[in-house]
Amino acid sequence: MLALDLGVFHRKTRAVGMKEALMWSGLWVALALLFNAGVWHWRGGEKGLEFLTGYLVELSLSVDNLFVFLLIFAYFKVPAQYQHKVLFWGILGALAMRAVFIAAGVTLLHRFHWITYLFGALLVVSGIKMIVQKNHDVHPEKNPVLRLFRRFMPVTAAFQGGKFFVKQDKLWLATPLFVVLLMLETTDLVFAVDSVPAVLAITTDPFIVYTSNVFAILGLRSMFFALAGVMQRFSYLHYGLAAVLVFVGAKMLVSGLYKIPTLTSLLVIVALLAVAVLASLLRASRQAASLVEGRGLRGLDLDEDPNGIPTQSPGLRGTSYPGKR
């Protein structure tokens, strides 16, 4: 699918439109659900529920990455036609890094059971931090990987088409596009510290953990272009994501006393995200209604007398309206 995506459908660098992004997002979700059906058929209902819950957790946490990706692209002023390519290679790197993280996490959990409580505490703290720190900031100059890279590799002043490296005067130089790719990879590395333990709270089956991560990451690129223009409408989503982290962290912390069923976990996670999305949409609709109402009042050009009663402006004398005396 990745080979078809880059080699056939996006062989030429171009901006991705909303309609195309929505189509690809739907395709990736459909493939994930089809794969889920296969897991359910061949490995049983419990494994099928574990995959679905893990996929939902990873997909929802991936949405938080999108806010940071937007900031990175805006900071470096990446042209729209190159963003798909950067995200593509960023996802390939993320797949490799997640494999290492998951292998290490599963091994640690199997050998040292107390790591479960450490992961649980980490998720609870991460959830609380997400509530307190509402805004994401991008500081490339503070990124240690980027600072180390610039010491050993010169970078061109401007973008060189869609190239990551160029050769000038027999010397290889990196382009700002590769710098953006490094920023995306290090950002995903930070997010993996939260997302991998979160799915390990659902299951420690490496096959389920990795495949749920893979499908969530594969759909992330298309989701970015589909949601880039409307993400600001989901103002309460970070509270929902924080609640999910706190819940799965608490699940790990109480696992020694009581094992929360996978179906219960799935229902709780769906409920938390649904409440956050609905609250965000209600707030956005109220803000839109207030804006329209405010524009309507300004259009009437009404003043108020000292008693607070609307009076006619010079341009509205002779008309009547409710409250006129």
pLDDT digits (tens, 9 = 90+) for 61-106: 877 677 778 778 878 888 888 888 888 888 888 888 888 888 888 8
How many alpha carbons fall within 13 Å on the CB side of residue 106? 15
Q: 3-state SS of 48-94?
A: HHHHHHHHHHHHHHHHHHHHHHHHHHHHHCCCHHHHHHHHHHHHHHH
Quote the distance between the C-alpha of residue 38 and its chain's center. Answer: 27
Query: Which tokens in the block code for residue 198?
Result: 């979160």
Q: What is the pLDDT of residue 299?
A: 57
Q: What is the pLDDT of residue 310?
A: 46
Q: How far apart are CA 204 and CA 16, in angstroms?
A: 37
| Model confidence band, residue 312 (pLDDT cutoffs 50, 70, 90) | very low
| Model confidence band, residue 315 (pLDDT cutoffs 50, 70, 90) | very low
pTM: 0.73
How many alpha carbons fall within 13 Å on the CB side of residue 104? 11
Region 205-212: mean pLDDT is: 91
Region 100-126: mean pLDDT is: 82
Contact 243, 276 (CB under 8 A): yes
Residue 240 has pLDDT above 50, yes or no: yes
Q: 3-state SS of the chain?
A: CHHHHHHHHCCCCCCCCHHHHHHHHHHHHHHHHHHHHHHHHHHCHHHHHHHHHHHHHHHHHHHHHHHHHHHHHHHHCCCHHHHHHHHHHHHHHHHHHHHHHHHHHHHHHHHCCCHHHHHHHHHHHHHHHHHHCCCCCCCHHHCHHHHHHHHHCCECCCCCCCCCEEEECCEEEECHHHHHHHHHHHHHHHHHHHHHHHHHCCCCCHHHHHHHHHHHHHCHHHHHHHHCCCHHHCCCHHHHHHHHHHHHHHHHHCCCCCCCCHHHHHHHHHHHHHHHHHHHHHHHHHHHHHHHHHHHHHHHCCEECCCCCEECCHHHCCCCCCCCC
Region 199-207: mean pLDDT is: 87
pLDDT digits (tens, 9 = 90+) for 147-197: 788 888 888 878 888 888 888 887 888 888 898 888 888 877 777 777 788
| Model confidence band, residue 135 (pLDDT cutoffs 50, 70, 90) | low
Q: What is the pLDDT of residue 55?
A: 92
Domain locations along the chain: 2-299
Q: What is the pLDDT of residue 43?
A: 93
Which comes out higher in pLDDT, residue 195 or 243?
243
**Which residue has tokens 């957790």?**
57
Contact 126, 64 (CB under 8 A): no
Q: What is the pLDDT of residue 50?
A: 93
